[in-house]
Amino acid sequence: MFCFNCGCRLSEKNFCTGCGADVGLYKKIMYTANRFYNEALDKAKVRDLSGAVVSLRQCIKLDKNHIDARNLLGLIYFERGEVVAALSEWVMSKNIRSEKNIADDYIDAIQNNPGRLEAYNQTIKKYNMALTYCQQDSLDLAVIQLKKVVSMNSRFVQARQLLALLYINSQDLERAKKELDRALSIDANNTMTLRYLKEVEEMTPTDEERIRKKKEAIVYRSGNDTVIQPVGKKEMVGLQTLINIIIGVAIGVGIAWFLVLPSKIQQAQTEVNEKYKEVSEQLDAKTLETEELTTQINELIQEKDSLSSSLSEAQGNKVLLQAYTDLIEAVLMRMNKTGDEMQIADMLEQIDKKYLQDEATDSFKNLYQALRDDISKVVAKNSYNTGYAAFRAEDYDTAIKNLERAYQYDPSNGEALYNLGNSYNKKGDTSKAAEIYEQVVALFPNTEKARKSQNYIRQIKGE
Amino acid sequence: MIDFEEELKKFHPSLEVEDVEDAIYNQDVTDLADVLVKLVKEAKEEYGDDGLAEG
């Protein structure tokens, strides 16, 4: 033991022989620390690791430089599977005394085997993961993780305790007890382990309860197997079979409902979707095609309209040209005396009446009318003579043609109109004949022709 | 009867190897001997060597 003031080795006196400092209290602290250490050592020897840890922590609180206490504490931590805590203590111990320290060996033993250190670390990570699962209420996953942990590091007391707690929670008392027994074999006086063990024992059915349950069952051997059949089940065989069948059917229907049916529905939906997609694509293609055709139709209609318009224009031009040609020829015929009045009349009649009425210019109309007036007397006379001769000769078509022309060129010629009616009448076209006769009655009243016409009208109408 | 939720709270995550450095640095290393030395030092500063001897 050394003086806290000057570092001299202390004697049995309560003061330092080097600096004279009062070390009585200091020595008492050191002695107490040693006593805690000895106590921890005794506890560790009988595997009361938890008790040893408590004593060693007390010792270190009194004397932080207690190398043996730190080394032993690290050793106990390591024994309980808490590798990091162990390393921490040994490193601090080595820091206090770097030479002739057994902590060196412990640290080397771990550091020289990185694979083992990594395995310890993985164990700790899995334990922490299991704890997280517990907090998230995923207890099954936690049990799986903890099983891995204890298989990798069988001395991990905390993991075994947590695993036992989970087994107790799930009423798996046998496994809980097994885990607690193993935890107890490592740390014999751990309060938590003992408390859990007591709880498990309280929850475990007593022997009397087991015997009573056993009595309720019939035990017999079938070959190498021991069959335990509960009493009172025999009478229920028929009913039980029926119930089993019903349950089986229910399960079958359930499977069909929850597994097969959704799958079928899904498949049908997929097929419908594919069909729908296919039809949609076809519809789109058809719509596109229709649009293209509509566009083409519209273009063709426009082209047709354009061509019709061009055609109409061309036809209009043709009519105009023909009208001018006919009129010019008729005029030339008159001027050059190359044709008689009848030929000129034929030429004038070839001019399109519609054009003459609607489109012809005033000069065209004037020229036409002048030429027509010039030949009208001769044409009217000749046509009447020809027409009347034809009428007499019963050539009514010729008569009608010439008499019509005669009346056109000379509207005062009532004979021409009357004989025109007669020609139609003789030809058998009575309705036309009646129409002509009515004109005669209207235009030439109080004449012999009017009276005769009236008679013919009566005859035709059957009065 | 064990209350599972309450018992679960007693379990804490174990330190991983990566945390060992922090664990060492963050450890409270003050012991009773340090407290005593500090007290003696403070008394000396307040009363001097004579005062301490008289006390």
| A237-267 tens-digit pLDDT | 788 889 999 999 998 888 878 888 888 888 8
Residue B49 has pLDDT above 60, yes or no: no
Contact A88 B15 (CB under 8 A): yes
Residue A65 has pLDDT above 70, yes or no: yes
Return the SS3 of A463.
Answer: coil
Continuous H helices in A340-395: 341-349, 353-354, 362-392
Q: Going by C-beta distance under 8 Å and a sequence separation of 6 or more, which residues neighbour residue A356?
A: A323, A364, A365, A368
Name the phi and psi angles at A226, rounded to 5: -100, 120
Alpha carbon distance A96, A90 (integer Å): 10
Q: What is the pLDDT of residue A219?
A: 60
pLDDT band at B53 (very low <50, low <70, confident <90, very high): very low
As a whole number, mean pLDDT of residues A347-369 equals 86
Of residues A70, A264, A73, A80, the one with CA closest to residue A159: A80
The conformation of residue B1, written as its DSSP 8-state character, comes to: -
Q: With a threshold of 0.90, does the pTM exceed it? A: no
Query: Tell me, what amino acid is at A386?
Result: T
Angle at A360 between CA A357 and CA A365, to 5 degrees: 80
Residue A372 has pLDDT above 80, yes or no: yes
Contact A121 B33 (CB under 8 A): no
pLDDT band at A129 (very low <50, low <70, confident <90, very high): very high
Q: Which residues of B touch A195 (CB under 8 A)?
A: 2
B1 near A CB under 8 A = yes
- Which has more pLDDT, B9 or B29? B9
Alpha carbon distance A157, A308 (integer Å): 106
Residue A203 has pLDDT above 60, yes or no: yes
Of residues A194, A163, A195, the one with CA closest to residue A176: A163
Contact B33 A60 (CB under 8 A): no
Where do the DSSP E strands lie in A216-259?
Answer: 217-222, 225-230
As a whole number, mean pLDDT of residues A226-230 equals 63
Instruction: Identify which of A26, A62, A121 has the shortest CB distance to residue B17.
Output: A121
Which of the residue ranges A269-283, A432-446, B17-31 would you say has the lowest mean pLDDT?
Answer: B17-31
- Which has more pLDDT, A56 or A230? A56
Residue B54 has pLDDT above 50, yes or no: no
Residue A138 has pLDDT above 60, yes or no: yes
Alpha carbon distance A408, A424 (integer Å): 17
Contact A64 B34 (CB under 8 A): yes
Query: Tell me, what amino acid is at B24?
Result: I
Instruction: Identify which of A65, A82, A196 has the shortest CB distance to residue B14.
Output: A82
As a whole number, mean pLDDT of residues A142-171 equals 91
Q: What is the pLDDT of residue A224?
A: 65
As a whole number, mean pLDDT of residues A296-306 equals 94
C-alpha distance from residue B45 to each of A19, A22, A439 (Å): 17, 16, 161
Q: Which residues of A touch B7 (CB under 8 A)?
A: 165
Residue A334 has pLDDT above 70, yes or no: yes
Q: What is the pLDDT of residue B55?
A: 36
Judge contact between B16 and A123, C-beta under 8 A.
no
Count, residues in chain A: 463
Contact B27 A92 (CB under 8 A): yes
Judge contact between A457 and A437, C-beta under 8 A.
yes
Of residues A426, A440, A434, A427, the one with CA closest to residue A456: A434
Alpha carbon distance A249, A143 (integer Å): 35
Q: What is the DSSP string of A249-266?
A: HHHHHHHIIIIIHHHHHH
Mean pLDDT of chain A: 88
Q: Which residues of A touch B30 (CB under 8 A)?
A: 64
As a whole number, mean pLDDT of residues A193-207 equals 86
B39 near A CB under 8 A = no
Q: What is the pLDDT of residue A282?
A: 92
The conformation of residue B18, written as its DSSP 8-state character, comes to: G
pLDDT band at A316 (very low <50, low <70, confident <90, very high): confident
Alpha carbon distance A289, A292 (integer Å): 5
Name the phi and psi angles at A302, rounded to 5: -60, -45
Calculate the dihedral angle through the C-alpha atoms of A52, A56, A59, A60, rounding to the nearest 10 degrees. Answer: -170
Query: How far is the alpha carbon of B43 from chain A, nearest alpha carbon, in Å?
Result: 12
For the ranges A21-35, A204-218, A410-424, the one whose mean pLDDT is highest: A410-424
As a whole number, mean pLDDT of residues A213-217 equals 62
